[in-house]
Amino acid sequence: MDFKEKFKTTLRIIVPGIKYSIQKETAYVANNIGNTFSTFFYTLALVLFIDIIYTNTDNFANYSKDEMLIFTVVGQAGFYALFIFYNLYSNFDNIVRRGQLDMILVKPIPIVPYLYVTQMNLIQSLRDGVIPILLICTKIEFTHVNITIGSFIWFLIIFLAGLIIANCIHFLGASSSLITKASNKLFWTIHLVFFKSSNKIPFEGYKKIFGKVIHLFFPVFLLTGISSSVLLNKVNGCVYTFLSIIICIATVIVSNIVFNTWLKKYSSASS
């Protein structure tokens, strides 16, 4: 399949794929209500957590309370944006082991877009993500933080690059089941590292403890830690934006090569 044909087929499967994933997401009413409560309590817990920290100190890793709330908003936005495809990553080894992948591979469609659109949690991410983020935003005194139009533009680019990198790494971790037949633990470890690095502790905190060594793990912190530092004008946005674009392109190329190599080595796992 050449690129043009692949692109056309991808466009054709997007709408039915999204429809199918929405049907799956909204199948259990009680669970949908439960998920809404879940994110409400999580947001409440996060805000309380920040309140508790700042009743004991005025400054956490050089972040004021309002800056910490901005960091939390960015972290939440990153988490829910990543969560859109969480189902695919967490189910990948089941898709391989149950032989569903074999059925997909025999279809004349591009496999990666198909997997993404049929396994996405679009509604859930929007439903659970938007309201809590807005609620946290209502607690922020925007006059107390240093955000400029320039820093916001750098932030958007870095955030997007971080999101693509995070998705690529999650996808690679999950799709390693093509050769190992069991990727869930690897995926979970990757997810934990990304989740924890975007939660509670700003990038400046890690720098204080680990010094320059932390830059070795640069891609992990792009999505939340570095992007919020740039947004709040704490670091040079230009340098980090340039680096994030380079790393993003490299990650996409490498993950594409690795996935295709694994796909060639893949032998049916189902009985």
Binding positions for other proteins, rule: CB under 8 A: 27-28, 30-38, 40-42, 44-45, 48-49, 51-53, 55-57, 59-61, 185-186, 188-189, 192-193, 195-197, 200-201, 205-206, 208-209
Instruction: Please say whether the beta carbons of 40 and 132 come within 8 A.
Output: yes
Tell me how far CA of residue 197 lies from CA of 5, 70, 142, in angstroms.
39, 15, 24
Instruction: Please say whether the beta carbons of 208 and 124 come within 8 A.
Output: no
- For the bound state, the minimum distance from the C-beta of residue 124 to other proteins, rounded and expressed in Å, comes to 9
Return the H-helix or E-strand segment holding 203.
helix 203-210
Instruction: Rank residues 124 and 244 by Cβ distance to other proteins and give the closer one.
Output: 124
- For the bound state, the minimum distance from the C-beta of residue 183 to other proteins, rounded and expressed in Å, comes to 9
Instruction: Rank residues 66 and 113 by Cβ distance to other proteins and give the closer one.
Output: 66
- For the bound state, the minimum distance from the C-beta of residue 30 to other proteins, rounded and expressed in Å, comes to 4
3-state secondary structure of 234: coil
Question: How far apart, in whole angstroms, are the C-alpha atoms of residue 89 and residue 175?
Answer: 8
Instruction: Rank residues 122 and 156 by Cβ distance to other proteins and give the closer one.
Output: 122
- For the bound state, the minimum distance from the C-beta of residue 46 to other proteins, rounded and expressed in Å, comes to 9
**If 0-12 CB within 10 Å is exposed, 13-18 middle and 19+ buried, where does residue 256 land?**
middle
- For the bound state, the minimum distance from the C-beta of residue 206 to other proteins, rounded and expressed in Å, comes to 6
Question: How far apart, in whole angstroms, are the C-alpha atoms of residue 219 and residue 242?
Answer: 13
Instruction: Rank residues 27 and 106 by Cβ distance to other proteins and give the closer one.
Output: 27
- Report the 10 Å Cβ neighbour count for 55: 9
- For the bound state, the minimum distance from the C-beta of residue 203 to other proteins, rounded and expressed in Å, comes to 11
CA 203 distance to own-chain centroid: 17
Instruction: Rank residues 109 and 223 by Cβ distance to other proteins and give the closer one.
Output: 223
- Torsion over CA: 250, 252, 253, 258 (sign): positive
Instruction: Rank residues 31 and 146 by Cβ distance to other proteins and give the closer one.
Output: 31
- Torsion over CA: 121, 123, 126, 128 (sign): negative
Q: What are phi and psi of 81, to 5 degrees?
A: -65, -40
Instruction: Please say whether the beta carbons of 47 and 150 come within 8 A.
Output: no
Instruction: Rank residues 180 and 261 by Cβ distance to other proteins and give the closer one.
Output: 180
- For the bound state, the minimum distance from the C-beta of residue 189 to other proteins, rounded and expressed in Å, comes to 4
